Amino acid sequence: MNDLSLSAVTARLRTQTFGRRIVYRSRIGSTQDLAREMAEAGAPEGTAVLANGQTAGRGRLGRSWVSPVGRSIHLSLIVRPSLVQLPRLTVIAPLAVALAVEETTSLRPRIKWPNDVFLSGRKFAGVLIDSELAGDQPLYAIVGIGVNVNLDTSAYPEIAPIATSLMMETGQEVAREAVLASLLNCLEDLYLAVGRGEDDAVYEAWRDRLDTIGQTVRVRLGDQVEEGLVEDVDAEGSLMLRRADGSRVTVPAGEVTLRDA
């Protein structure tokens, strides 16, 4: 079995807190659940829960995430964001994945709103953010990120037509440790930048990689369906849609699904 070398990850970290405490399991149900338990018990910001494989990996809205042992990155990072940082996690997380892949390979990922990261029109990474508030104050958030690094997605019929991996795109195995360390470095850089109020550069970098602007989309938001042309996005990741009747609506990047119209 391909184990993840934590010392190889740590050697590449240039973070203050992100990934400085790592909890590692060779196999787990979902890293999100352990991270949530640890956050509830007071684990500090930056604690990273990692698993070599998951037996019940989760996507959003009850969907599942294919997480076999030894091939991918399964990360749940505990953060304790400010009110400003919390909504920007949906921008920071996929952007950090794209930047980490750019830093460690020759690939140039694209982001599909709100949280998918794509190569050659196929998804290779996804983001799931769980957060806990007390009133309107954030207590913690768990930034869940799955990255198909050396996964042969053709072996999984449920995702074969829509998914890819860094190995499939480069034609060779990629060191998970290098991608993971770069991911933690990029996540912390972006998170701290937003905390200092420097969101403009973060927003621009995200917007540059976003494929969704200019497309006509249908968005399901609870019971409501909105359809329209994506005119722009804002710094919190909301979509600005123009409906067929010419009116405009802003759709937050929360619990939504995107369908091609």
Q: What DSSP designation does 48 have?
A: E
Question: Prior bond to 252 cis, omega within 30?
Answer: no
The span from the CA of 19 to the CA of 89, in Å, is: 17
Q: Which of 43, 141, 159, 202 binds ligand BT5 (CB under 6 A)?
A: 159
CB-based contact 146:67 (threshold 8 Å): yes
Q: Which of 144, 168, 187, 239 binds ligand BT5 (CB under 6 A)?
A: 144
| 74 belongs to the binding site for ligand BT5 (CB under 6 A) | yes
| 54 belongs to the binding site for ligand BT5 (CB under 6 A) | yes
The span from the CA of 169 to the CA of 124, in Å, is: 10
Instruction: Kindly tell me the sign of the dihedral angle through the C-alpha atoms of 126, 211, 86, 132.
Output: negative
CB-based contact 241:229 (threshold 8 Å): yes
| 113 belongs to the binding site for ligand BT5 (CB under 6 A) | no
Which ranges of the chain would DSSP assign to H, the alpha helix? 6-12, 31-40, 85-104, 166-170, 176-195, 199-208
| 63 belongs to the binding site for ligand BT5 (CB under 6 A) | yes
Q: Which is nearer to ligand BT5, 154 or 215 (CB)?
A: 154
| 65 belongs to the binding site for ligand BT5 (CB under 6 A) | yes
| 52 belongs to the binding site for ligand BT5 (CB under 6 A) | no
Q: Which is nearer to ligand BT5, 76 or 105 (CB)?
A: 76
From 15-23, 40-48, 58-66, 217-225, give the range in contact with ligand BT5 by CB under 6 A. Answer: 58-66
| 126 belongs to the binding site for ligand BT5 (CB under 6 A) | yes
Task: List residues near ligand BT5 by CB under 6 A.
Answer: 30-32, 54, 57-61, 63, 65-66, 74-76, 115-116, 123, 126-128, 144-146, 148, 159, 163
